[in-house]
Structure 1
Amino acid sequence: MPSTDEAQEEAHIEELLLVASLHENERLEKLLEEYKFTDYNAVDVQNAQGMSPLHAAIASCEKKQLNGESGSGSVSTESAACDTVRLLLESGAIWNQLNKNGETPGCVAYRLGLYDLYELMVDAGVRAEIILNRLDGYERLEDEEVEEGEPEENHRNDTQNTTAEGVDDDEVPTLIESATSMTADTSIGTYQDVNNADYLASDLVLTRDKLLDEQQNGVMMAWESGIMKRSADLLLTKPEMRILNIGAGMLIFDSFVQAHERKPAIHHIVEAHSDILTNMEAQGWNTKAGVTIHSGRWQEILPQLITENQTFDAIYYDTFAETYSDFREFFTEYVIGLLEPGGQWSFFNGMGADRQISYDVYQKVAEIDLLEAGFDVEWHDIDIPELETEWEGVKRKYWNVKQYRLPVCKFMD
């Protein structure tokens, strides 16, 4: 039998969820203020099913679903819910808090076809992630000032700091992809964080259709071939170009580059993992005409290339177990010195690909940061077929989005 305090807390939670679901904003605002100094954060409370006030406000209304199927409810109901959601967000509600079904409030809105509510949640995620990324930059700067010379710790979860109280870190929505790992989550199984140093020290397993680390996390998989081919097609705009690829993996992208009708004259590959480098040597990549392999992390190799005045017509970025901060450093600090005027570059865009809302959030975050760094980006959509047997033997499913958005970036005019 729950104690008096526990029973009172449960009653408070149910009251908050009910008022949020009814979109009674004046009453909700009073309750949030009334419970402000309790032992729990009223705006983010959850019941036994993991429903928060944001979940309740969204789940209580339906209309035509985003996938085209019809639902119930009305636009006016969604409009009222939008006002409630704004109130909750302005009061500090966590945009990506999960219920017991693994859904964020935005996931619920997407499933129910509540477009306006979904966009509200996407915008909330963008604001939160941009602020956190900026704060991460300030914190790293302060660390460098205090402990100059100390190596910066590289966490796979750096872009995901909005974990709700009471939600395990391994339940936080993913902002990740197979080879450009920005942060981590598990939607299937138990996932342990992988930082770049641990990854580079691990033994890899290469099969016909996948590359795994020693924890069976997918580093790269054969189903990405269509994406890699399209990326090569878009980047190789004329024969005899100079191209740089950062992160070889299964050599899918590099193989398409070498086999392309507009085969480049110069093809540089930066790879840091010894197992991949050994595999490249066994396949004869070291002796291919025009191919130069750089052994080491791009953070070590790219400054050398800039010092040597090496420039490229096209660049592709596809690394593993690095953070969004690393990626932002790459395009803000190094692309400007390596890319020829009129050149193009791209990256494997899998950030947040285990959930549609996370994918949409990080597309917008990347667009904002790319614009700030002086790049235009054009997106090319690629439909992804249902992936089922592909995940056999892989610890976690890092892709759960139906459409891949392939970025092509260039200097702003």
Structure 2
Amino acid sequence: MDDPAFATETDTTTQSILLAASNHDLPALKPFLRVPGAASVQDPETGFTPLHAAIASCEDSPSPDDIEAAKATIKELFLSGAIWNDLDANNETPGCLAWRLGRRELYELVVDAGVRAEILMNLMGGYEELSDEDEDEDEEGGEVEGMEIVENVETIVDGENTTTEETAEEATNGQAAETKGEVTEIPKKDVNSADYLQSKLEFTDDKLLDADANGVMMAWETSIMQRTVDLLIPASSPPLRILNIGFGMGIIDTMFASTSPASHHIIEAHPDVLAHLQTPGHKFGKEWEASAPEEGSYKIHGGRWQEILPILLEENLQFDVIYFDTFGESYMELKKFFSEYVIGLLSENGKFSFFNGLGADRKVCYDVYTKVSELDLCDAGLDVEWTEIEVEELGGEGEGEWKGVRRRDRGKFSRKIYNDTLNIERQCQPMERIYVPWFGMQLLNMGESKRSKAMRVNAPTCPVPRYRIFSSETLITIGYP
């Protein structure tokens, strides 16, 4: 690793910080934390940060007093600029470690810190990733509104959770490229909408893959989608007007069609999926469109939803059920959808939901973005309810359902299904203040030309819009509530 925190020479200061954090010794720890960046140092072998150390020491039957001491230490570290999602040598964030050890109180502290980081980044006007990890850390090009960005960040793109500095083994499923006898790292391609729409898709009975073997849709998602349909369309419902964005394998549209909807509109952007829909005998082909109760009420719209939805709005179409499940798009696009379009397309008592793949294979990121999205949904005028569904761990890497798939979900945890109801009359109440406890007095030094890592510790983990504060009179309060 290029990070100076991973220097091979023994750093006694780093070890002293980690020891004090592990012992939850605040009197010993606080003097070190006066130095910018001290809260984010890492052990050169384990990759442990002070957060990791404080949490790991609670592994063996800690007493209630030990847990309280750990909580106080973690709060102090966040106050001093600790990175909530830094990875250790075991590829675990502090939150991952806390969850694995069963320390739920500590885990929630990390999740809350992640949510606060997202909120603060929005207040700072967003962020810009550093274009080159080898660039001078002090260059102004890596700053946005007085804040620098963590270089080893994660990117959340429609259910894909990846780090920008993953090893070659992780990026190529354990394979390395050899060129003239030398092992060369193969850079991992980021998933994005433009590349996805130009890629060649592979259709099988149980999965839909893009050209890079990313799982666009997989059969194991069926149980999640069925539960979603049951929530959106109770058995006693009359025929409803349905809009789905993202056909994929047609799993949820098949379920929607089984309810004999009054209207059923599907938006699909990928040329290969659209061509597949035109194959003779396809259940969503011309015969399906002709079976509509009214002419034109069963329809496939070919194109990006950003282009199709303005047309539907001009036609004054409304829907009782709206579902959103695209691939290769960031949370920014999802937020744009429910903030700008849902309110115009959803009927008065309609319901909107989306496939909640935010964070995907890392639970702590999933929980952070679940909370962030809830805030944004509330801001858009939606009442939010969710149902948890347990998702069993499937086959191992490259096995069973994951054979031939580039990346599998890590571990087993429950997924939250969003069941959002539009409430035009009741908007969420304005926030009077927002707590950003981890920055402390460093917030006063943001005008300096050079920034330490302590000023970059709360960089976002994905290109998402940050939580928009409702009130123009919002106060930023330093300290814990």
**Please, what TM-score do these two structures have when normalized by structure 2?**
0.72
How far off is 1:175 after superposition?
4.1
8 Å contact kept, 1:313–1:342 = yes
Counterpart CA distance in 1 for 2:361 and 2:159 is 12
* Residue 35 of structure 2 is aligned to residue 24 of structure 1: no
* Residue 39 of structure 2 is aligned to residue 43 of structure 1: yes
Counterpart CA distance in 2 for 1:7 and 1:52 is 16
8 Å contact kept, 1:175–1:354 = no
Pairwise CA RMSD: 2.3
**C-alpha spacing 1:43/1:355, structure 2 compared with 1 (3 Å):** same
Q: Which residue of 1 aligns with 2:406?
A: 395
8 Å contact kept, 2:161–2:362 = no
* Identical pairs, percent: 49
How far off is 1:137 after superposition?
5.5
Counterpart CA distance in 2 for 1:398 and 1:134 is 32
Q: Which residue of 1 aligns with 2:267?
A: 270
Counterpart CA distance in 1 for 2:127 and 2:8 is 43
**C-alpha spacing 1:107/1:163, structure 2 compared with 1 (3 Å):** farther
Question: Which residue of 346, 359, 366 corresponds with 1:352?
Answer: 359
8 Å contact kept, 1:133–1:325 = no
Counterpart CA distance in 2 for 1:8 and 1:83 is 31
Q: Which residue of 1 aligns with 2:105?
A: 116
8 Å contact kept, 1:272–1:295 = yes
* Residue pairs, 1:14-413, within 5 angstroms: 14-33=15-34, 35-36=35-36, 41-47=37-43, 48-62=45-59, 72-133=61-122, 135=124, 164=150, 167=152, 169=153, 172=154, 175=156, 180-181=158-159, 184-185=162-163, 189-190=170-171, 191-237=188-234, 238-260=237-259, 263-282=260-279, 283-287=282-286, 288=288, 289-290=291-292, 291-388=298-395, 389-398=400-409, 400-412=411-423
CA-to-aligned-CA distance 1:189-242 (integer Å, 9 cap, x gap)? 314201111110010111111111100011110000111112122222423211
8 Å contact kept, 2:386–2:419 = yes
Counterpart CA distance in 2 for 1:303 and 1:182 is 28
**C-alpha spacing 1:313/1:221, structure 2 compared with 1 (3 Å):** same
Counterpart CA distance in 1 for 2:94 and 2:363 is 12
**C-alpha spacing 1:333/1:196, structure 2 compared with 1 (3 Å):** same
8 Å contact kept, 1:175–1:359 = no
How far off is 1:72 after superposition?
1.2
Counterpart CA distance in 2 for 1:133 and 1:205 is 38
Matched letter for residue 127 of structure 1: R
Counterpart CA distance in 1 for 2:8 and 2:388 is 51
Q: Which residue of 2 aligns with 1:146?
A: none
Counterpart CA distance in 1 for 2:69 and 2:203 is 53
Task: Specify every segment of 5 or more residues in structure 2 that has no aligned partner in the other structure, as ranges.
Answer: 1-6, 129-146, 172-187, 293-297, 427-481
SS in 2 for 1:346: strand
**C-alpha spacing 1:10/1:254, structure 2 compared with 1 (3 Å):** same
How far off is 1:75 after superposition?
1.3
SS in 2 for 1:123: helix
Q: Name which of structure 1's ranges 393-402 and 247-256 shifts more when overlaid on structure 2.
A: 393-402
8 Å contact kept, 1:94–1:162 = no
8 Å contact kept, 2:86–2:93 = yes
Counterpart CA distance in 1 for 2:8 and 2:353 is 54
**C-alpha spacing 1:336/1:183, structure 2 compared with 1 (3 Å):** farther
State the number of aligned residues.
364
8 Å contact kept, 2:243–2:319 = yes
Matched letter for residue 11 of structure 2: E
SS in 2 for 1:285: coil
